[in-house]
Amino acid sequence: MNNLLDGIEEVLLMGPGPSSVPPQVYEAIGKKTLGHLDPYFLKIMDELKERLRTLLNTKNNLTVPISGTGSAGMEACFVNLVEPGDRALILVNGVFGVRMREVASRLGANVDALEFTWGAPVAVADVAKKLGETPYRIVAVVHAETSTGVRNPVDEIGALLRGSDTIYLVDTVTSLGGIEVRMDDWGIDALYSGTQKCLSCPPGLAPLSFSEKAMAKLGARKSKVPNWYLDISLIANYWGQNRVYHHTAPVNMTYALYQALLLILEEGTQKVFKRHLDNHLLLVKGLEEMGLKMVVEEPWRLPMLNTVWCPEGIDELAVRRRLRSEFKIEIGGGLGPLAGKIWRIGLMGHTARKENVERFLDALRKSIS
């Protein structure tokens, strides 16, 4: 019988995710499966939590991977922390801010959205003005907006909320592992990420962390969390000392995340961040030498997700298809109002290496000539 898995090629993943996976992580995911309550697996869970806390720069007890992709992490944060009628302020400058607004609305929140130009950062002064006009139960923003390549000033927004009762929720799906995330110092109360970006792990888990303030908000709910599978109060009992069964954890994916975090911490976080930045600068230099223009102004560019305008007269989809078929390289196209206008080039985790940048630049020159 024909097995399609035999036809899978090795592709250099330079899109908006997933990223290339190091061999040590592939080896980890292939380890023998243990039961999700096996004593040795519980040791792996505990050490994984510590590694997540280190990378997030947090002391939060509730710091765990959710079983699901980054979108499950987003849903978990909102479904646990938002009740009908809560006033929520969503800061939107790309697809994933729009998605936050949609999720909060579906939960019955009274949602206001501050809209900013796609490709430009959230303006802190506008946020401060809005907060001065209306009290909010929750304020949410994307740290690294994957659809545009913008880094938002999460630390400055957090400073506006310090000392208030407002829950500060941040998406770090693309930023975690590629640039610094300081959850406690920035006053973040709830945070979620994903394994498939700068952590260089296959998609399937969503690191999540709740502060004591977020846990208090959860404990004070007037109604049950409407999503049983993502109810943090139940999940916490499995990841905590009680080890109460909730659902069958994805054991081998947990191995993979454990190994991916180990690789980052062994390399050293500052070295990892510098590697992302150095390869970003190399990429930008090469693109500009081809006459291509970056979408985002330099101070707000993400090193791990680079957006570049497609030149007039070039079919951006045709270029991406040629890169994939002829050169075995994947990059992404634009979303929303940027669809058909830009390329999104990922330099995430294991992908962020000089040889990959040089290979891509050579392939792109040939593809647009």
The pLDDT value recorded for residue 369 is 84
Sign for the pseudo-dihedral over CA of 306, 307, 309, 314? positive
Closest residue by Cα to residue 132 from 156, 164, 108, 154: 164
Task: Tell me, yes or no, whether 261 and 273 share the same domain.
Answer: no
Task: Tell me, yes or no, whether 41 and 115 share the same domain.
Answer: yes
Task: Name, in order, each residue with C-beta under 8 angstroms of 175's C-beta and a sequence gap of 6 or more.
Answer: 143, 144, 151, 181, 193, 198, 302, 304
Q: What is the pLDDT of residues 115-171, one digit of tens each?
A: 999 999 999 999 999 999 999 999 999 999 999 999 999 999 999 999 999 999 999
The pLDDT value recorded for residue 4 is 96
The rounded distance, in Å, linking the Cα atoms of 353 and 221 is: 46
- Tell me which of 265, 300, 325 is where a domain ends: 265
The rounded distance, in Å, linking the Cα atoms of 254 and 235 is: 15
- Tell me which of 265, 281, 310 is where a domain ends: 265
Task: Tell me, yes or no, whether 193 and 122 share the same domain.
Answer: yes
Strands 205-210 and 62-67: antiparallel
The pLDDT value recorded for residue 114 is 98
Scored b (16 or more CB within 10 A) or e, 151-168 reads: bbbbbebbebbeeeebbb
Over the chain, what is the mean pLDDT? 97
232 to 73, 212, 216: CA distances (angstroms): 11, 13, 12
The pLDDT value recorded for residue 355 is 98
Task: Tell me, yes or no, whether 329 and 340 share the same domain.
Answer: yes
For residue 131, the domain's CATH number is 3.40.640.10
CB 84, CB 107: distance < 8 Å: yes
The pLDDT value recorded for residue 75 is 97
Q: Which domain holds residue 121?
A: 23-265
Q: What is the pLDDT of residues 100-120, one digit of tens each?
A: 999 999 999 999 999 999 999
Task: Tell me, yes or no, whether 87 and 201 share the same domain.
Answer: yes
Burial class (CB in 10 A: 0-12, 13-18, 19+), 306: buried
Taking 90 as the threshold, does the pLDDT of residue 57 lie above it?
yes
Taking 90 as the threshold, does the pLDDT of residue 242 lie above it?
no
CB 251, CB 41: distance < 8 Å: yes
Task: Tell me, yes or no, whether 56 and 143 share the same domain.
Answer: yes
Q: What is the pLDDT of residues 37-56, one digit of tens each?
A: 999 999 999 999 999 999 99
Residue 87 in tokens: 């006033």
6 — pLDDT class (breaks 50, 70, 90)? very high
Predicted model pTM: 0.97
Mean pLDDT throughout 288-307?
Answer: 98
Task: Tell me, yes or no, whether 289 and 255 share the same domain.
Answer: no
Considering the chain, what percentage of its residues have pLDDT values greater than 90?
A: 98
Q: What is the pLDDT of residues 351-363, one digit of tens each?
A: 999 999 999 999 9
Q: How many domains does the chain have?
A: 2
273 — pLDDT class (breaks 50, 70, 90)? very high
Task: Tell me, yes or no, whether 181 and 55 share the same domain.
Answer: yes
Task: Tell me, yes or no, whether 12 and 75 share the same domain.
Answer: no
Task: Tell me, yes or no, whether 219 and 273 share the same domain.
Answer: no
Task: Tell me, yes or no, whether 51 and 124 share the same domain.
Answer: yes
Taking 90 as the threshold, does the pLDDT of residue 247 lie above it?
yes
Task: Tell me, yes or no, whether 172 and 290 share the same domain.
Answer: no
For residue 272, the domain's CATH number is 3.90.1150.10
Taking 90 as the threshold, does the pLDDT of residue 241 lie above it?
no
The pLDDT value recorded for residue 122 is 98
The rounded distance, in Å, linking the Cα atoms of 280 and 63 is: 30
- Tell me which of 265, 299, 315 is where a domain ends: 265
